[in-house]
Amino acid sequence: MKKLLIIIFFLGLIFTCSTLQEIKIIEKKKVNYKKKITVLSYIKHESEKLVKKSSSKMIEKYDNKGKKIEEICYKSDGSLDVILKYKYNSKGNMIERARYGSDGSLIELHKYNRKKHMIEYAKYKSDGFLIKKIKSKYKYNSKGEIIERAQYGSDGSLIDKIKIKYKYDIKGNVLELATYKPDESLRSKIKNKYDIKGNRIESTSYYSDGSIQNIQKYKYDTKGNRIEEEQYNSDGSLKWKWGCKYDGKGNKIEYPEYNPDGSPSGAKLKCKYDIKGNIIEKARYDSDGSFKYKYKYNYDSKGNKTEKAKYNAENKLERLYEYKYEY
């Protein structure tokens, strides 16, 4: 539940290199090194041949503990786009993330406390003018859960403050989580139910007046993997439904889709993995079982993605991304 709160508090503040969102770095053994990543994009031409559409580049730097301390991102024309810099505490947890523009000016700054909660966010113009700044202070209970969060503006004035109270069952599961306004009036409430294994099977969210906002229901397999999730409106009607199937290793291999009434639509997304757990294929099927498209992935010996290829309904190559690495 704590993770859910953090997502709600700071949704929209996360940033990355937009031109390289598909890149996932797995190599962590080397230290004090640089990694240059080049992404080449190809698209099918009318001649049925793949032609180069664009390319982008990123350089990553790591410290002597293998932690990434800098990302330098370039545009397709080779010019500098943004620079991201990271700082860590003695335990290896990130305490600062800064984003700089192509001219070296600070654009955004995020700071975190030892519990990985964001304690400061600032946004600047290229000339250094402060656009927005929010500081957050937290109080915790003996379990390490947030019991109070206060947010302040750049001038020190209070923007928002909430208090959180918990109720537990004999196993320590959170049965109720209530948030309160500065005047101690109720802001919202969530009540949870659990199965005998401690899996949360139902969460009901309430407005400040006690009326139901929505209800979430969950189902699990024998290994504790979540296989189904449903959300209902206050009147009991189904809002949406999600499902997932797993293989023996816990990999997510199928995402079935559902009709508005909750019945299976027949459409699905299927995934395949290699022996190292890297995803090597994602295939989409329509409700009648017909194949729609798929993505295939290749990796090098270090686990770096080297190719991403898209195939159309005729199983013909339509688009290709190549990833090249230099150390």
In single-letter form, the type of residue at position 160 comes to: D
The DSSP bridge partners found for residue 299 are 305
pLDDT at 13 over 70: no
**Residue 164 CB partners (closer than 8 Å, separation 6+):** 5, 145, 146, 147, 148, 149, 177, 178, 179, 180
Q: What is the pLDDT of residues 54-108, one digit of tens each?
A: 788 999 999 988 899 999 999 988 899 999 999 999 999 999 999 999 999 999 9
pLDDT, averaged across the chain: 89
Contact 23, 40 (CB under 8 A): no
Confidence at residue 251, expressed as pLDDT on a 0 to 100 scale: 97
Percent of the chain past pLDDT 90, that is, above it, reads 78
173: pLDDT strictly greater than 50: yes
The half-sphere exposure of 284 on its side-chain side, counting CA atoms within 13 A, is 11
pLDDT grade for 20, boundaries at 50, 70 and 90: very low
222-228 contacts at long range (C-beta below 8 A, 24 or more positions apart): 223/250, 224/197, 224/199, 225/250
Whole-prediction pTM value? 0.79
- Tracing tokens 């946004």 back to the chain, one arrives at 123
CA–CA distance from 24 to each of 28, 228, 242, 279, 315 (Å)?
A: 12, 27, 25, 12, 26
Determine the Cα–Cα distance for residues 68 and 88; give it in Å rounded to an integer.
Answer: 10
Q: Identify the residue with better confidence: 36 or 25.
A: 36
pLDDT digits (tens, 9 = 90+) for 116-170: 999 999 999 988 999 999 999 999 999 999 999 999 999 999 999 999 999 999 9
**CA–CA dist 218, 240 (Å, integer):** 12
CA dihedral (140, 142, 144, 147) in degrees, to 10, reads -30
Is residue 10 classed as helix, strand or coil in its secondary structure?
helix
